[in-house]
């Protein structure tokens, strides 16, 4: 039921772990629903230089966390803000329909982390406010 890419990222997750003194951390999901994703970012000069994750969840939750971190490392924060769950799912050669929410969780975890960073650095403006408002809804799910 999973693509080979999903299985590969599940079996050999990239960037699993924590970043000590991360510049931003985002946590979404909740244990009740069976998945929690936490993304750690290291940001230097507006570039995501490192990303790591910790995830409680099913195979696709782990695979999407892994893929999302791989996709954002080396990108500017403004680019990372455009990350979509569809792009994560496509990069994994697709997810079963009932697992698409896992890719959404990965997108929201990244955005929750970025929000923290944007707020801390006074970078929130009209161009990104809507994106963060959506991320915030999911962040509250995680509490």
Residues that bind other proteins (CB under 8 A): 7, 10-11, 13, 16, 18, 27, 31-38, 54-62, 98-99
Q: Which of 19, 73, 102, 112 is catalytic?
A: 102
Return phi, psi of residue 43, to 5°: -120, 125
Residue 31 or 124: the one with the smaller Cβ distance to other proteins is 31
Residue 40 or 128: the one with the smaller Cβ distance to other proteins is 40
Shortest CB 79 distance to other proteins, Å = 26
Shortest CB 78 distance to other proteins, Å = 27
Residue 80 or 109: the one with the smaller Cβ distance to other proteins is 109
Q: Is 58 a catalytic residue?
A: no
What's the CA gap between 143 and 16, in Å, rounded?
Answer: 22
Which residues fall within 8 angstroms of residue 86, CB to CB, at 6 or more apart? 103
Shortest CB 130 distance to other proteins, Å = 27
Q: Which of 1, 11, 31, 33 is catalytic?
A: 33
Print the SS3 string covering 12-81: CCCCECCCCCCCEEEEEEEHHHCEEEEEEEEEECCEEEEEEEEEECCHHHHHHHHHHHHHHCCCEHHHHC
Give the active site residues: 33, 102
């Amino acid at each position: 039921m999973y693509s080979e890419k999903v299985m590969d990222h599940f079996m050999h997750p990239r960037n699993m772990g924590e970043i000590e003194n991360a510049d931003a951390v985002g946590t979404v999901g909740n244990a009740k629903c069976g998945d929690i994703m936490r993304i750690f970012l290291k940001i230097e000069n507006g570039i995501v230089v490192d990303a790591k994750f910790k995830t409680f969840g099913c195979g696709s939750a782990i695979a999407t966390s892994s893929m999302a971190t791989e996709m954002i490392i080396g990108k500017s924060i403004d680019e990372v803000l455009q990350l979509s769950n569809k792009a994560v799912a496509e990069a994994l050669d697709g997810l079963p329909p009932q697992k698409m929410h896992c890719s959404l969780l990965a997108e929201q975890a990244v955005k929750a982390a970025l929000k923290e960073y944007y707020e801390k650095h006074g970078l929130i403006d009209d161009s990104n406010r809507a994106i963060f408002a959506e991320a915030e809804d999911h962040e509250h799910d995680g509490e």
